Structure 1
Amino acid sequence: MSRQQDVTCVRVRLKPDMLARVREWAAFVSTHRQEALQTLKAEGVEIESVFLESSVEGDSLIYYMRASSQREAERIATRSLAAIDAYHHRFKQDAWEKVEPLELLLDLRS
């Protein structure tokens, strides 16, 4: 029997001219992959994927996350003292403009 998980997907509208900052952030997290994975594990996050969407309206990040509890993951991340979480928090302040939840229509998992 599979355990219950929260599935979340949001569109993060970026502030103008943030692509270089976004790519710097992605490279940093990739370079610090093990630290990032440790913090996700502590948050109860099984999967976190981030996609870049560029359109005439501007650039956005599409975040997909599967966690045991979205609320608990956010609570733990907010209180984290890990350096990578501090870096991510600064990135959000620098680059994020608006977060829009996306509607889950279908979630298949074997």
Structure 2
Amino acid sequence: MNTKNEVVCARIRLKPDSLPLVREWAAYIAAHREEALRTLEAEGVVIESVFLDTVEGVDYLVYYMRAPSLKKAEVVAVKSLADVDLYHQNFKKTTWEKVSRLELLVDLDRSNT
């Protein structure tokens, strides 16, 4: 099946002093990997990666996600009652300060060939 996936990358400015909570969140997701993968499957997400970046003492997350429908993924995630999703939603409220979508310049995806 040759289905084109949508892709998004965002840079999230973190609230000051939230790095310990970020590391705690990453450890939680790793410890609950199977549940997290099931929720991504329900959302239709095929790839979700998160990177930590620090620029001039300010911490950022860089989020990369690929799915057939990013809108569907968002709707399903917001409605989810899975523990891992509830944890993630609380994490976002606690640590995220500002989200900026990054401009996609090149997207080479061999999975659709």
Tell me the equivalent position of 2:52: 52
Tell me the equivalent position of 1:32: 32
The residue identity in structure 2 corresponding to 1:39 is: T
The alignment-based identity, stated in percent, is: 56
Structure 2, unaligned runs of 5 or more: none
Q: Deviations over 1:40-95 (max 9, x none)?
A: 00000000000000011610000000011011100000000101100000000000
Tell me the equivalent position of 1:22: 22
TM-score by length of 1: 0.97
The residue identity in structure 1 corresponding to 2:43 is: E
Aligned length: 110
The residue identity in structure 2 corresponding to 1:53 is: D
Matched, 1:69 2:35: no
Q: For residue 45 of structure 1, give the secondary structure of its aligned residue in structure 2.
A: coil
Q: Deviations over 1:20-54 (max 9, x none)?
A: 00000000000000000000000000000000000
Tell me the equivalent position of 2:105: 105
* Cα RMSD (Å): 0.9
The residue identity in structure 2 corresponding to 1:104 is: L
4+ long deviations beyond 2 Å: none
- Distance, in Å, in 2 between the alignment partners of 1:101 and 1:51 is 14
Q: Deviations over 1:6-25 (max 9, x none)?
A: 10000010000111000000
Quote the offset at 1:2 in angstroms.
Answer: 2.6
TM-score by length of 2: 0.95
- Distance, in Å, in 2 between the alignment partners of 1:70 and 1:57 is 31
- Distance, in Å, in 1 between the alignment partners of 2:6 and 2:57 is 29
